[in-house]
Chains A and B, each alone.
Chain A
């Protein structure tokens, strides 16, 4: 058992390729949470994030031969997941555009907590200042980004990926990718500024 825990990714990949299906379990258990975090940030809800995780590990398993020996399994499955997530985001946009009442659908896919909607009905300044509320705003702001912008900001900011790595997922070059990161930050800033500045102003007010 202890030996199994110590098995490196490379060995686990080799064993899987040799037909030992259970060896793949080590890889799934080891990397699921990292992939989940990225997927959640990309998709904005647990349901889609879990889907992305499962599908990514299935795809990685099916393409394992192509991976063999390349880079690091964690990075590789992460990239498969990012590719799959951006496809899902694009698909989601297409579906939403096709359905009636697109804004409503968007809310649905955000897993909006029903209680927060109740809070929205009576927004006292203190409540607006709450970090939960800020997080809700951020969720909405992220959902307004294009799939490429969202991918760029998630990979860049949270996961510290290099520009080249992001460019590979976006199927773009590094200059355009830098620009996408910039646009993403800029859009988030525009969306959050009234809220962030209100908070700042209040903070200053209490100090004075």
Chain B
């Protein structure tokens, strides 16, 4: 048999070669192909050697804590599993209420517009706007601290443990807000929060004592991405929304003008 092609040898290593026996027989006789197989094997060994950070023994519990509050969203999608007994009962109840409301509506005054629901949505948005605004304020502080940290010449290591601790706290918060922004379709906010999260994670996971060069790398990244500026623009947008909750379109305009300025 002629020498095995790279494709054949990779397939052989993968256990997927068509003429497995023939290749095996050839390999026994051909030192060249054995050498080639060894080189291919080295790639797999390198793959095996890739480390994965251990998320910790309690990782499953943490995942649960994070998703459990969101499982409630399932309730809004009851039609996916409508035949579970509890759901059927609930469904029956809802149908009965709707009929009752309809009948009652016909016997009473004209229906009042659904202000309650709109109000609830407004309240929810307002709470979120305030919370995200505060979160961005705290993040801005962390970034500013890093930007302004005194890095003296000749200094061997810069201790950022305090900033790091706060960055760590902010990561989780940030993730929640980002997921909410994504769900609400606020792409601009989600993308800024995404960039923030990466930097916050980097800060949180860096060694406590940074070499000036490593410190500079983080700082340059914050600057290169214009993160502080983006945070301020989004925050400003939120502040405007907070002040005039009903002028959402105007706020969007402000934000796009801000962006154009960049």
Q: Which residues of A contact B (CB under 8 A)?
A: 17-19, 21, 24-25, 28-33, 36-37, 40-41, 45-47, 50-51, 53-54, 57-58, 61-65, 104, 108-109, 111, 114-115, 117-118, 121, 131, 134-135, 138-139, 153, 156-158, 163, 178, 181-182, 185-186, 188-189, 192-193, 196-197, 200
Contacts and interface: CB of A to CB of B under 8 A. Distances in A.
Interface of B is mostly: helix
Interface string B41-79: 011101101111101000111011011101100100100
Contact of B217 (A18, A114, A163): A114
Contacts of B64: 25, 28-29, 32
Interface of B: 6-7, 10-11, 14, 16, 39-40, 42-44, 46-47, 49-53, 55, 59-61, 63-64, 66-68, 70-71, 74, 77, 80-81, 84-87, 175, 197-198, 201-202, 205-207, 210-211, 213-215, 217-218, 221, 224
Contacts of A192: 42-43, 46
Contacts of B81: 17, 64-65
B42 A33 contact: no
B59 A36 contact: yes
Q: Is the interface of A mostly helix, strand, loop or mixed?
A: helix
Contacts of A182: 7, 10-11
A163 B43 contact: no
Given A25-B64, A29-B64, A53-B63, 15 more contacts: A17-B84, A28-B64, A37-B52, A41-B50, A62-B74, A114-B210, A114-B214, A117-B217, A135-B51, A157-B47, A178-B11, A185-B10, A192-B43, A192-B46, A196-B46
A189 B174 CA distance: 38
A47 B53 CA distance: 11
A104 B49 CA distance: 26
Nearest to B195: A108
A57 B43 contact: no
11 contacts: A117-B214, A117-B217, A118-B217, A121-B213, A135-B51, A186-B6, A186-B7, A186-B10, A189-B43, A192-B43, A192-B46
B86 A19 contact: yes
Contacts of B77: 62
Contact of A185 (B40, B84, B213, B218): B40
